[in-house]
Amino acid sequence: MAYGACDMTALGSSWKNAPHTRKYFYAGGHYADDGTGNHIFKDQVYVEQLTPLNGPTKPHPIVFIHGQAQSGTNWLNKPDGNLGWASYFISHGYECFIIDQAFRARSAWFPGNGSMATYSAEMIQQRFTAPKKYGLWPQAALHTQWPGEGLMGDEIFDAYYASNIQFIKDEGYEQLAVQAAGAALLDRIGCPTILLAHSQGGMMPWLIADVRPQLVRAIVALEPKGPPFQEAVFSNMSTRKYGLTDIPLTYDSQVVDPVIGLVKTVILSNSPNASTCILQADSPPPRQLINLKEIPVLVLTTEASYHSMYDWCFVKYLQQAGVKTDHLDLGKIGIHGNGHLVFMEKNSDQVAAEVRRWIEEN
C-alpha cells in the first residue's frame, strides 16, 4: 500500500477528512516522589480535541476511550487507510475528544507504575482479525468484515498490529488513574458529554460517570469488557468484583466487601452459543447503581465476536441495577459479519450511523 503524497488514492478516503481544528492537552495527573527526593508527573491522560471547522452543531461532545493494548489512534484513520469514527462524527457536527489511557502511548508511563504486557500477533489474529480461521467460539464462523486476510504479512493487518502498544497489568490502578483523569477532563469540557468506549476501555465510562454523573449525557459501550464478575470464553477466572469494574462503584447502599455485599446467582447456559451468566440474586433486592440510573446506555454487540456469547448478560446486569440500557445486537438488525474491532472494519460507517441514530434519539 503506497502512502506517498504523489498517490492520494492509495489513502482511500482518509485524505478527504472532515474539516476540523486540532488541539491537544493533558488531563488529570499529579506530582509524585520518584524515590530520590525529586518529582515526576504521573497518572495523566493525553487528550486530542477535534472541533468541526465552523464549530460543533451538536450540543454534546463525544469522548472516545480505546481498549487494551490500543491508543487514541483507533478512532482516527482505519488501518486500510479509510476514515475512522472521529471523522464520521466530526462530519455530523460533533466535537470529539480522544484520549490515550493512562500509561499508554502519549500518556507517559514511569518505572514503578506496575509491570507491563502486550498482545502477540497470534492472539490478535485469533480473537480480532481472523477468528473464522480458528473457530474458538461458534459465532467466529460468521466473521467477514475485516479488510484483508487478518494475518501476519497482510499489509492491513501489519498496519494495525504496528499500532498495538504495551499496557500495565494492574487493572485496578489503571481504572483509578483513568477515573480521576476522566473526571478532570469532563470538568475541563464543562458540559454533559457522550462517553464512547471500546472493550477494556468500556469499563471506564461506568467509573467516570460514577463520580461525574451530571457531566455525562449518555454512554455508548462497544463490546465492553465483561461479563460481570468473571471472564468468559477463554477462561472462567473471577474478576470485576464490583460487577462491572475491579474498583468500587456507588451502589444504593455501601458495598464494603463486594464478596458479601453483592449477593449473586448463576444462570447456567443451555446453549453452545452463550456463556454462563452471573447476576445479582433477586433476594435481597439487587443493589442499584444510583449514579448511573439517569444516564442512557447503549451496549453494542457484533454478530461474529466472542462478545456475542455474553454481552446479553452484561446488559441484564445493568438493567437489574437500574441503568436504562439498550442492546444493539448488529446481527439482529441486519448488519452482518462484524467482529470485535467493528469500528475499523469495512462497514464501519454503517455501524457508526446506527450509533449516531441512537445518540440523537436519546
Q: Residue 18: its pLDDT value, please?
A: 84
CATH level 2 (architecture), domain 8-226+288-361: 3-Layer(aba) Sandwich (3.40)
CA distance 223 to 312: 10
Instruction: Quick: pLDDT tens for 232-264.
Output: 999 999 999 999 999 999 999 888 788 888 999
Q: Which of 71, 199, 275, 308 is catalytic?
A: 199
Q: Is 71 a catalytic residue?
A: no
Instruction: Quick: pLDDT tens for 204-240.
Output: 999 999 999 999 999 999 999 999 999 999 999 999 9
- Which of 291, 298, 307 has the alpha carbon at shortest distance from 220? 298
Q: What is the 3-state secondary structure (H, E, C) of the chain?
A: CCCCCCCHHHHCCHHHCCCEEEEEEEEEEEEEECCCCCEEEEEEEEEEEEEECCCCCCCCCEEEECCCCCCHHHHCCCCCCCCCHHHHHHHCCCCEEEEECCCCCCCCCCCCCCCEECCCHHHHHHHHHCHHHCCCCHHHHHCCCCCCCCCCCCHHHHHHHCCCCCEECCHHHHHHHHHHHHHHHHHHHCCCEEEEEEHHHHHHHHHHHHHCHHHEEEEEEECCCCCCCECCCCCCCECCCCCCCCCCCCCCCCCCCHHHHCCEEEECCCCCCCCCEEEECCCCCCCCCCCCCCCCEEEEECCCCHHHHCHHHHHHHHHHCCCCEEEEEHHHHCCCCCCCCHHHCCCHHHHHHHHHHHHHHC
268 pLDDT more than 80: yes
Q: Residue 114: its pLDDT value, please?
A: 82
Instruction: Quick: pLDDT tens for 132-178.
Output: 999 999 999 999 999 999 999 999 999 999 999 999 999 999 999 99
Residue with grid cell 467516570, as numbered in its chain: 208
Cα–chain-centroid distance for residue 114? 22
Is the model more confident about 280 or about 12? 280
Residue with grid cell 483509578, as numbered in its chain: 176
Q: Residue 16: its pLDDT value, please?
A: 66
CA distance 344 to 340: 9
Instruction: Quick: pLDDT tens for 24-59.
Output: 999 999 999 998 999 999 999 999 999 999 999 999
Contact, 315 vs 282, CB < 8 A?
no
This prediction has a pTM of 0.95
**Range 329-351 average pLDDT:** 98
The answer to which of 9-13, 39-43, 90-94, 136-140 has the lowest mean pLDDT is 9-13
Work out whether strand 20-33 and strand 39-52 pair parallel, antiparallel, or are unpaired: antiparallel
Bridge partner residues of 6 (DSSP):
none
Bridge partner residues of 265 (DSSP):
279
Contact, 183 vs 266, CB < 8 A?
no
104 pLDDT more than 80: yes
**pLDDT band, residue 14 (cuts 50/70/90):** very low
The residues spanned by each domain of the chain are 8-226+288-361
